[in-house]
Structure 1
Amino acid sequence: MKKAGILNRHLAGALAELGHGDGVLICDVGMPVPAGPRVVDLAFRAGVPSFAEVLDGLLDELVVEGATAADEIRDANPEAARLLAARLPGLAHVPHDELKALSTGARLVVRTGEARPYANVLLWCGVFF
């Protein structure tokens, strides 16, 4: 049994399958989940687990070479916007509809219990060397 890191077996297994250039969408409960990508739904109750908790857990496990969020996060959810800016230097912003379109190409979707708007980010996997 693992004693540290991500303990959810479905999420840990999905992360182990990712490669360079793969997309991982971390999303709130309201984001439409596209057909196609593998989905690990962590939502338990509104706000549990939070977007911040899941983001930090995934950033501890992944090499991220880029990230994209919706423009709308800046006005609709400034707290999440500040969190992303602090954790992901070089974060790109696109209109929300474009983020939804980009998410169809993700390899993995991780749905959180976050119940605040636009708490979504598409991470692009890098390599550790």
Structure 2
Amino acid sequence: MKKGGILNRHLAGALAELGHGDGVLVCDVGMPLPQGPRIVDLAFRAGVPSFAEVLDGLLEELVVEAGTAAHEVRAANPAAAELLREHVRPLSYVSHEELKGLAAGARLIVRTGEARPYANVLLRCGVFF
């Protein structure tokens, strides 16, 4: 049994398969999920687990070289926008419609229970060396 870190076996296994340049979409419950990418659905109830909890856990496990979020998050969900500004650098913004299109190219989608709008980010994996 793992001692710590991400304990969900589906998510831990999916993270172990990621490589440099792979995309990981961390999304709220309302984000449409495209066909193609592997999906680990962590949503349990509205708000559980939160976007912040899942993002923090993923950032502890992954090397992230950049992120992309919807510019709508800044007005519609200031708490998520601030979280992203603090923890994902560099962070670029596109329209929500464009982010939905980019999601289809992700290698992994992690769906949270977040029930506030635009709590979504596409992370690009980096390398540790």
Query: Which category describes the TM-score, using the shorter chain as reference length?
Result: over 0.9
Q: Does 1:71 align with 2:77?
A: no
1:90 alignment partner in structure 2? 90
Identity across matched positions, percent: 78
2:24 counterpart SS class: strand
Question: Greater CA deviation, 107-116 or 81-90?
Answer: 81-90
Q: Does 1:22 align with 2:22?
A: yes
Q: Which amino acid aligns with 1:42?
A: L
Report the TM-score, using the length of structure 1 for normalisation: 0.99
Report the TM-score, using the length of structure 2 for normalisation: 0.99
The question of whether the paired residues in 1 share the 8 Å contact of 2:65 and 2:90 is answered with: no
Give 5+ residue unaligned stretches, structure 1.
none
1:113 counterpart SS class: coil
- Matched positions, count: 129
Give, in angstroms, the shift of residue 90 of structure 1: 1.8
Q: CA separation in 1, counterparts of 2:89 and 2:48?
A: 26
1:58 counterpart SS class: helix
Q: Where does structure 1 differ by over 2 angstroms across 4 or more consecutive aligned residues?
A: none
Give, in angstroms, the shift of residue 98 of structure 1: 0.4
Across the aligned residues of Structure 1 and Structure 2, the Cα RMSD in angstroms comes to 0.4
1:120 alignment partner in structure 2? 120
Correspondences of 1:6-45 after superposition (within 5 Å): 6-45=6-45
Give 5+ residue unaligned stretches, structure 2.
none
Give, in angstroms, the shift of residue 89 of structure 1: 2.3
1:52 alignment partner in structure 2? 52
